Amino acid sequence: MSFVLFLIIVFLASFSSFPHLPGGKLHMATHAEGKLNNKLFPQLVDVTAEAGINFKHTHGGAGERYYVETMGSGCAFLDYDNDGDLDIYLVNGAPLPGYPVAKAPKNVLYQNQGEGTFRDVTIPAGVGDASYGIGCAVADYDNDGFVDIYLTNFGPNVLFHNNGDGTFSDVTGTAKVGDDKWGASAAFLDYDNDGDLDLYVVNYVNFTIANHIKCGQGSRGIRTHSHPDVYDGVADVFYRNNGDGTFTDVTEKSGIYNPSGKGLGVVCGDIDNDGDQDIYVANDKTPNFLFRNNSDGTFSEMGLLAGVGYNEDGVGEAGMGVDLGDYAWRWLPGYFCY
């Protein structure tokens, strides 16, 4: 599924090459019978096997229908070795109680060979991490010229520092970014314009194996996964980069703290063109958040006033992912949330 996501991203990115046509509209030529002209769109071919990608995601379930099983895991493109080619990092799940597995699955790093194929370099790079992974974010947080990896897990998150020699080191403890909630996704941004990247971590719900709620029809032997409504939301975490390899939790100080959200996706961008980065969080079954940067180290939650907190019926949607782009060529960003 992760590689399918990759194909979708490539497909969407291809639209950036279309010209800005009069009236800000994209005029698509069609055949007489109403079919789209394929010359306008890229033709996607599944090259997973030929590329050497044999990754298989594991949800770790064993029939207990733990809620975490319902979530897939993320992936990222990054040029970790600075050779000009994008490599692929794929996040995996982990065995849950009762899952019969001799060897725990791990995340996988594929190095781009520059010829359309990839090589598994997970072990020498040291980025396997056998935790139950959910998402990841990649960026050069310490400005040393090499891209680092941050993992959001069902359990303690992990920060891998790129050593610049093809290997990574787990610096979670030193950097102080090991939040242990159910982390869903994360984003790097420079919210205070000081030249280094800060870190926003999205947390989902207060589910643990210990507080697992069994759902279904027990009398008929039918087990189902629970609904997000049965678990409370968990506050996201916002870290300020200190510029020395460490971070400080500024969640409450910055005005980000809000325990009502059940976040799954996050995107950052300057939505009001005032020169600083704002934050939008897609929440599941609860109102989405739009944190407007006040340019003084604090944020104001503007989701309701901006019209992006609820749907047209005034109901919080099941937001699971989000992206940001100027879809109407107005030099103003718009949100796409699903």
B/e letters for 31-44, b = 16+ CB within 10 Å, e = fewer, are eeeeeeeeeeeeee
Distance between CA atoms of 172 and 186, rounded to whole angstroms?
A: 15
Per-residue pLDDT at 13:
40
Specify the residue for token string 């039918």.
222
CA 6 to chain centre: 13
Per-residue pLDDT at 312:
82
User: Quick check: 109 and 119 in contact, CB under 8 A?
Assistant: no
- Spell out, as residue ranges, where the chain has pLDDT lower than 70: 1-39, 101-102, 217-221, 327-338
Per-residue pLDDT at 319:
84
Per-residue pLDDT at 99:
79
Per-residue pLDDT at 98:
80
Distance between CA atoms of 242 and 246, rounded to whole angstroms?
A: 6
Of all residues in the chain, what percent carry a pLDDT higher than 90?
64
H helices of 41-148, where? 48-51, 122-125
Domains in the chain (CATH in brackets) are 47-337 (2.130.10)
Name which of 286, 257, 292, 253 is nearest 272 in CA terms. 292
